[in-house]
Amino acid sequence: MKKNALIIIAFKNFRDEEYLEPKAVLEAAGIEVKTASTQVGTASGKLGAKVPVDLAIEDVAAADYDAVIFVGGPGCYDYYNNPIALTIAQAAVKHNKILAAICSAGGILAHAGVLKGKKATVFPSEAELLKSKGAIYTGAKVEIDGNIITADGPQSARKFGEAVAGLMGGS
């Protein structure tokens, strides 16, 4: 059966390359990728990308995916206290799925309580948040701890995508 991944982006102001580069890497590895946001339609990246959203986050069942990925950018802060987003992150862990976040989106995982005792990295401005929620902040470009993958920002987007694809094992 083909592996699949769900990428969750902000409907406005997600970080373009943190979505586009991992998506391209995953698709090249034969992984089917779906995109979710707070609504369906066309989401807008901070740098101008326009991408179709397949489903709204309230329709997401984390158990249906091999990996759930949260993308950063200014818009991702809307998910920090969004109960649906936090529940998706918790469900991914509960169902032993790969859970990944890049840049400031690592804060979503911290708020969901899934980084406690885990090695993780994040955009530097959110390092204190991760530590305050019990994560072991490493400051690495990409960090893997079990099924949780985190990355520090847009310059690590390709390596982040490769880490997710590697852990998924391709198709």
In the structure, what pLDDT confidence band is assigned to residue 171 with cuts at 50, 70 and 90?
A: very low
Mean pLDDT across the stretch 120-128? 97
Q: What CATH number is associated with residue 113?
A: 3.40.50.880
Q: Specify the number of domains making up the chain.
A: 1
Mean pLDDT score of the chain, rounded to an integer?
A: 97
Mean pLDDT across the stretch 79-98? 98
pTM of this prediction?
0.97
Check residue 1 and give its pLDDT.
74
Three-state SS for the chain is: CCCEEEEECCCEEECHHHHHHHHHHHHHCCCEEEEEECCCEEEEECCCCEEEECEEHHHCCHHHCCEEEECCCHHHHHHCCCHHHHHHHHHHHHCCCEEEEEHHHHHHHHHHCCCCCCEECCCHHHHHHHHHCCCEECCCCEEEECCEEEECCHHHHHHHHHHHHHHHCCC
Mean pLDDT across the stretch 121-142? 98
Domain, as residue range, for 135 = 4-168
Check residue 170 and give its pLDDT.
55
In the structure, what pLDDT confidence band is assigned to residue 141 with cuts at 50, 70 and 90?
A: very high
Summarised one tens digit per residue, pLDDT across range 14-70 is 999 999 999 999 999 999 999 999 999 999 999 999 999 999 999 999 999 999 999
d(CA 100, CA 94): 14
